[in-house]
Amino acid sequence: MPNRLILGGAAAIFAAAALLFGGVFRSSTPAAATDVLPQAVAAELAKGFAAGDTQAEILGLQDELKLDRHNVKALDTLGLAYLQRVRETGDPAYYPKAQGILDEALRQSPRDLVATAGLGQLALSRHQFRKALAIGIEANRISPTTAGVYGVIGDAEIELGRYPQAINSFDHMAALKPDVASYSRVSYARELIGHIRAAERAMQLAASAAVGAQEASSWTHVQLGLLYLGHAQPRRALAQMNDALALDPTYYVALDGMAQVQASLGHLHVAVDFERNAVDRVPLPAQVAFLGDLYGAVANHTAAKHEYALIDVIEKLLAANGVRNDLDIALFDADHHIAPAHLLTLARKGHLERPSIYGDDVLAWALARSGRCNEALQWSNRALRLGTRDALKDFHHGWIEACLGNRGAAAVWYRRALALNPSFSILWAPVARKGAQA
C-alpha cells in the first residue's frame, strides 16, 4: 500500500490550514492556548471553506487587496487560502502564490504570526524541512503559547530524524490544545515507536474531537482505518472507511483509503474504481502509483503504463513549484526499475534532505535494488531502530537478507511483514509469501 503521505507534505499529517492552526474552525478551545489566527481571519477562512468555495473566497480577498494592499489580515487569509487550494486541487502552482502573499504580509508586519506559521507550513509542504524548522522556531518566539506552532516544529523534527525532540513538541502541543491536530500527531509519534494500541487510542481521541467538522472527521476515520489495515485488522479498517465516505462520498482521501482496504481484501477491480475516483479528484503521486500497480495486478498493463507516465509529469510540476520529492521518486523508481543509473544519486540526495527512518528505508531499498546489499543492510537496520512496526520496512529488510544469501533470516522477516499486513503491497506481498516458505 502507498505511504500515508499527502501532496508535498509528508510531514504535515493533515489538511494545511486546519491542522496547522490546531483546529481554528472549532469553537471550543482551551483558554490556555492562544490561537494563531485572529478571530476575524478565522471567521473569514471558515466562511469560504465551509461553503466549499475557496476559489470564490480567493477572488473576494484579491478584490479587497486591490483596494488596500496594506490589509495584512487579507494577505494572511489569502496566503492560507492558496494553501487550501493545493489541498483541494493537487495543483502546486498555488505554492508560489502563497509564498508571495505571505512574504508580503511579513514585509508589512514583521512579527505577523499567521504569515510566519503559514510559511512554515508551506516549507513543510515543499519538503524543505530544515527551513520549516527554522520558521517554526521563529513563530514560537513570536508566540510560545500557540499550539499549532509546535505542530510545525514537530513535523519538521520528525522528517529530520529528531524523534525525541519531535515527541516533546507534540506533547507540548497536546498539553496546550488537545484537539484533532495534536491527537493525530501524538498518534503518529506512537506509531513510529511501535506503540500501536496507544496510537489507535490517540487517533480515536482525534476522531472524537473532530465530530461535527465533516472533513476533519472523515480524515480521522481514514487515518484510524489505515492504522487498523497496517496491523492485520482489515474489517475494522473497512468500517472506518465506510464511516469516512458516509460523511463525504467524494473525499479523495477516503476514496484512496477505501481502495487500499478493498485491495487488501482481494477486491482488486473494486479497488481500481475507488482509486480511479480519488486520482480523478486530486492526482497525488502516491495514489497515481498505486492506481498503476492496481491496473498491473488486474492485467491492464496499458492503463498501468499510462499512470506511471503521469507520475513523471506530476513530479516535474511539483519540482517547478519548489517541492523536493527526491525520496518518493527514488522509492517509486526502485520498485519499478526506472532510471537505475540515477537511482542512488536520487536516493542519497533525498536522504540528505530527509534523514528520517523513511529516508533510511528508501536509501536501503535503492542500494539493495542496485545490488549493494551489504551497504543496504546497515541502512535498513537504521530504518528499524525505533521499533516501528511497518510491513514494508520489514519486507525490505527480508529482501536484503535474501540478497545476501541469508534465506532463513529473510523468511523470518517476510513472515513478520505478512503478520502485520498480509496485503501490504500489490507488488511485494506475493514475493514475501513465496519467500516466507523458505
Tell me the DSSP string of 196-258: HHHHHHHHHHHHHHTTT-HHHHHHHHHHHHHHHHTTT-HHHHHHHHHHHHHH-TT-HHHHHHH
Predicted local confidence at residue 438, as pLDDT: 73
> CB burial class (10 A; 0-12, 13-18, 19+) of residue 285?
buried
Question: Which uninterrupted H or E stretch holds 85?
Answer: helix 72-89
CB burial string 99-118: b at 16+ within 10 A, e below: bebbebbbeebeebbbbbbb
- CA–CA gap between residue 170 and residue 165 (Å, rounded): 9
Residues 120, 9 contacting (CB under 8 angstroms):
no
**What are the residues whose beta carbons fall under 8 Å from the beta carbon of 146, sequence distance 6 or more?**
22, 33, 34, 35, 36, 113, 117, 139, 140, 176
Please provide the average confidence, as pLDDT, over all residues in the chain.
89
**What are the residues whose beta carbons fall under 8 Å from the beta carbon of 162, sequence distance 6 or more?**
none
Q: If you average pLDDT over residues 401-415, what whole number do you get?
A: 98
Question: Which uninterrupted H or E stretch holds 79?
Answer: helix 72-89
pLDDT, tens digit, 9 for 90 and up, residues 357-402: 999 999 999 999 999 999 999 999 999 999 999 999 999 999 999 9
Q: If you average pLDDT over residues 309-323, what whole number do you get?
A: 95
Whether pLDDT at 8 is above 50: no
- CA–CA gap between residue 67 and residue 328 (Å, rounded): 43
Residues 240, 276 contacting (CB under 8 angstroms):
no
Task: Please choose, from the candidates 415, 383, 378, the residue with its C-alpha nearest in 3D space to the C-alpha of residue 398.
Answer: 415
- CA–CA gap between residue 364 and residue 352 (Å, rounded): 14
pLDDT over 90 percentage in the chain: 86
Residue linked to cell 527514488: 330
Question: Which uninterrupted H or E stretch holds 318?
Answer: helix 301-320
Residue linked to cell 464511516: 243
CA 365 vs CA 208, 336, 349: distances in Å = 38, 12, 14
- CA–CA gap between residue 122 and residue 143 (Å, rounded): 19
Grid coordinates standing for 292?
Answer: 498503476
* Alpha helices (H) along 370-420: 373-383, 391-403, 407-420
Task: Please choose, from the candidates 235, 290, 296, the residue with its C-alpha nearest in 3D space to the C-alpha of residue 265.
Answer: 235
Residues 222, 216 contacting (CB under 8 angstroms):
no
Predicted local confidence at residue 52, as pLDDT: 58
Predicted local confidence at residue 434, as pLDDT: 97
Q: Which amino acid is at 105?
A: A
Residues 225, 257 contacting (CB under 8 angstroms):
yes
- CA–CA gap between residue 201 and residue 180 (Å, rounded): 13
- CA–CA gap between residue 211 and residue 297 (Å, rounded): 37
Neighbouring C-beta atoms of residue 250, cutoff 10 Å: 10
- CA–CA gap between residue 402 and residue 415 (Å, rounded): 13
Predicted local confidence at residue 339, as pLDDT: 85
pLDDT, tens digit, 9 for 90 and up, residues 35-83: 344 444 444 444 444 445 899 999 999 999 999 999 999 999 999 999 9
Predicted local confidence at residue 46, as pLDDT: 47
pLDDT, tens digit, 9 for 90 and up, residues 128-165: 999 999 999 999 999 999 999 999 999 999 999 999 99
CA 368 vs CA 90, 161, 409: distances in Å = 32, 22, 16
Residue linked to cell 489495515: 229
**What are the residues whose beta carbons fall under 8 Å from the beta carbon of 50, sequence distance 6 or more?**
25
Q: If you average pLDDT over residues 306-328, what whole number do you get?
A: 95
The answer to which of 58-62, 85-89, 97-101 has the lowest mean pLDDT is 85-89
For the domain 326-435, what is the CATH superfamily, name and number? Tetratricopeptide repeat domain (1.25.40.10)
Q: What is the 3-state secondary structure (H, E, C) of 280-296?
A: HHCCCHHHHHHHHHHHH
